[in-house]
Amino acid sequence: MTYLHNIGAYFIMVKDMFRKPTKWSVMKGLILKDIDDLIIGSFGIVAFISFFVGGVVTIQTALNISNPLIPKYLVGFATRQSVILEFAPTFISIIMAGKVGSFITSSIGTMRVTEQIDALEVMGINAINYLVFPKFVALMLYPFVISIAMFLGILGGMAACIYGGFSTLDDYITGIQLDFMPFHITYAFIKTIVFAFLLATIPSFYGFFMKGGALEVGKASTTAFVWTSVAIILLNYIITQLLLS
Amino acid sequence: MIEVKDLHKSFGNTHILKGITTSFEKGKTSLVIGQSGSGKTVFLKCLLGLFDYEEGAISYDGKIFGNLNSDEKRNIRSKIGMVFQGSALFDSMTIAENVMFPLRMFTKQSKSEMEDRVNFVLKRVNLENAHHKMPSEASGGMQKRVAIARAIVNKPKYLFCDEPNSGLDPKTAIVIDNLIQEITDEYNITTVINSHDMNSVMEIGEKIVFLKNGHKAWEGSKDTIFKTDNDAVTNFVYSSELFKKVRKMYLEENQ
């Protein structure tokens, strides 16, 4: 029953996010602040992880291709497919559920504990619109983060491939151009937009409706991370089944 | 004027407010007092519309709050100033930005007009040099004064304060009490304060409502509270030896 109640409350929150909008002059500042916190603030960790995981994917692939009949350019091909289809959109989103999600839950949760949300509501402000909508808009720029993750993942793979001596630069570049299907990019960005929506709303839900004190803020952040990850993995499966099978 | 009629509120099977009827007049400082757990905060949150109630009615200047549509409720709420127990200042904003917030949300004033108003109210609460401080850099007393400045900046018709003196030293508490009293007189607003600080009761309680176990056990003023023989009130208000002596002296002087 609690799960059903939470699912219902989540969808009502999503609906309320678009009701009684905050004045644009105020909202503009909130959106810019959230772009800074959630998007620009994530570039560093995303770049670091993407570059090195791209390198690891290349090394693992190269080490597992022991048959001399398999061409070396397949290392680049496999890296590209792994990074574009799954690593960048899905696994970076799981990492972001930890980084961005816990930030959103703890910041909104702290506002709940310290009665700042009550203060907004007493003033007649739609607190859900004021707090959640700017995060939703900011995270609509999330595909830029994923584009960078894709680029750096493939670049990291290239660096590992060349400096590890697994294949030549020409082979790697031939591999990453082989049988390129533009729809795979479209598929990856459709997933990214859906995950961005989940990243903005599920942690906000757990922060906004939390009860208790500082300890519960920590618990709410953990719960938000778990459920955001579960939702990402489930929707990843459903979207892949719908778009690629 | 705020009128409350037969207000009932429960959480699950726990009946918190059991038929409270009272009124709070314009231009007067009214205090709601009672022991912890007597229902003061729930009562205040019902008045503010933060909690729904099962039975009864709350009206603001004759308009029953529960019968209003969302725009009308929003309109009334924009005329409410609230000072929370923990101040509830927005910790991502400076003190000046906190005070300016209601103006930015509800008025079409130019930036210079808003700055003038913020300067005026910060001066009014004796915080003219604190504009650029963050709330975390301010003391408890300063935070309370900022919360009062934010509550009055948009010239409210109703001011609510939830235990404005909690956590403050006696001297600062008196400063806050006097400030609320002066603001109530100056702007002719309806002020309701939740408190269990007996100094506040004696200093500024033009009307006092005493709650016990969710019932209204007594109502009167700072003058009549000395004379009452209501056991519930005397046990609560005169529980300390100091206040017993004060009461005795008052009664002897006025015999």
Optimal mutation site among A111, A122, A217, interface B, most CBs of chain B within 10 A: A122
- Determine how many CB atoms are found less than 10 A away from the CB of residue A142: 25
Residue with tokens 């609509």: A140
Q: Does A18 fall in a domain?
A: no
pLDDT (0 to 100) of residue B43: 92
CB contact burial B162-181 (16+ within 10 A = b; e otherwise): bbbbeebeeebbbbbbebbb
Give tens-digit pLDDT for B130-174. 889 999 999 888 898 899 899 889 888 999 998 888 877 888 788
Q: Does A4 fall in a domain?
A: no
Please judge whether A118 and B50 are an interchain contact, meaning their C-beta atoms are less than 8 angstroms apart: yes
Number of domains chain B is built from: 1
Chain pair A-B, CB pairs under 8 angstroms: 53
Q: Does B92 fall in a domain?
A: yes
CB A74 within 8 A of CB A177: no
Q: Does A6 fall in a domain?
A: no
Number of domains chain A is built from: 1
- Mean per-residue pLDDT, A67-82: 89
Non-local (6+) Cβ contacts of A211 within 8 A are A112
Confidence of residue A134 (pLDDT cuts 50, 70, 90): very high
Q: What are the residue ranges of helices labelled H in chain B?
A: 40-47, 70-77, 95-106, 111-124, 140-152, 170-187, 198-204, 224-227, 231-237, 241-253
Q: Does B239 fall in a domain?
A: no
- What is the overall mean pLDDT for chain A? 93
Q: Does B76 fall in a domain?
A: yes
Q: Does B22 fall in a domain?
A: yes
Q: Which residues of A touch B48 (CB under 8 A)?
A: 122
Query: What is the 3 state secondary structure string of chain A?
Result: CHHHHHHHHHHHHHHHCCCCCCCHHHHHHHHHHHHHHHHHHHHHHHHHHHHHHHHHHHHHHHHHCCCCCCCCCHHHHHHHHHHHHHHHHHHHHHHHHHHHHHHHHHHHHHHHHCCHHHHHHHCCCCHHHHHHHHHHHHHCCHHHHHHHHHHHHHHHHHHHHHHHCCCCHHHHHHHHHCCCCHHHHHHHHHHHHHHHHHHHHHHHHHHHCCCCCHHHHHHHHHHHHHHHHHHHHHHHHHHHHHHHC
CATH number assigned to the domain comprising residue B53: 3.40.50.300
Q: Does B87 fall in a domain?
A: yes
Closest CA to A120 of B134, B115, B4, B104: B104
**Which one of A23, A25, A118 has the shortest CB-CB distance to B84?**
A118
What residues make up the domain containing A147? 23-244
Q: Does B241 fall in a domain?
A: no
pLDDT (0 to 100) of residue B175: 82
pLDDT (0 to 100) of residue A43: 95
Instruction: Describe the strand order of the beta sheet including B2-11 as a list of residue ranges.
Output: B14-24, B2-11, B55-60, B63-64
Please judge whether A122 and B82 are an interchain contact, meaning their C-beta atoms are less than 8 angstroms apart: yes
How large a percentage of chain A has pLDDT more than 90?
83
Q: Which residues of B touch A20 (CB under 8 A)?
A: 70, 74
Tell me, yes or no, if B48 comes closer than 8 A to chain A by beta carbon: yes
Q: A15-19, A63-67, A68-72, A193-197: which has the highest mean pLDDT? A: A193-197
**Which one of A23, A114, A124 has the shortest CB-CB distance to B78?**
A124
Give tens-digit pLDDT for B224-248. 887 888 888 888 877 777 777 877 7
Q: What's the residue count for chain B?
A: 255
Please judge whether A26 and B104 are an interchain contact, meaning their C-beta atoms are less than 8 angstroms apart: yes
- Mean per-residue pLDDT, A67-81: 89
pLDDT (0 to 100) of residue B93: 93
Confidence of residue B129 (pLDDT cuts 50, 70, 90): confident
Q: Does A9 fall in a domain?
A: no
**Which one of A23, A33, A114 has the shortest CB-CB distance to B86?**
A114
Q: Does B242 fall in a domain?
A: no
What residues make up the domain containing B25? 2-222
pLDDT (0 to 100) of residue A11: 95
pLDDT (0 to 100) of residue A141: 95
Tell me, yes or no, if B88 comes closer than 8 A to chain A by beta carbon: yes
Tell me, yes or no, if A124 comes closer than 8 A to chain B by beta carbon: yes
pLDDT (0 to 100) of residue B78: 83
pLDDT of B17 over the 80 cut: yes
Optimal mutation site among A110, A115, A120, interface B, most CBs of chain B within 10 A: A115
Q: Does B237 fall in a domain?
A: no
Residue of B nearest to A117 (CA): B88
- Mean per-residue pLDDT, A91-99: 95
pLDDT of B77 over the 80 cut: yes
Q: Which residues of A touch B80 (CB under 8 A)?
A: 122-124
CB contact burial B73-104 (16+ within 10 A = b; e otherwise): bbebbbbbbbbbbbbbbbeeebbbbbbbbbbb
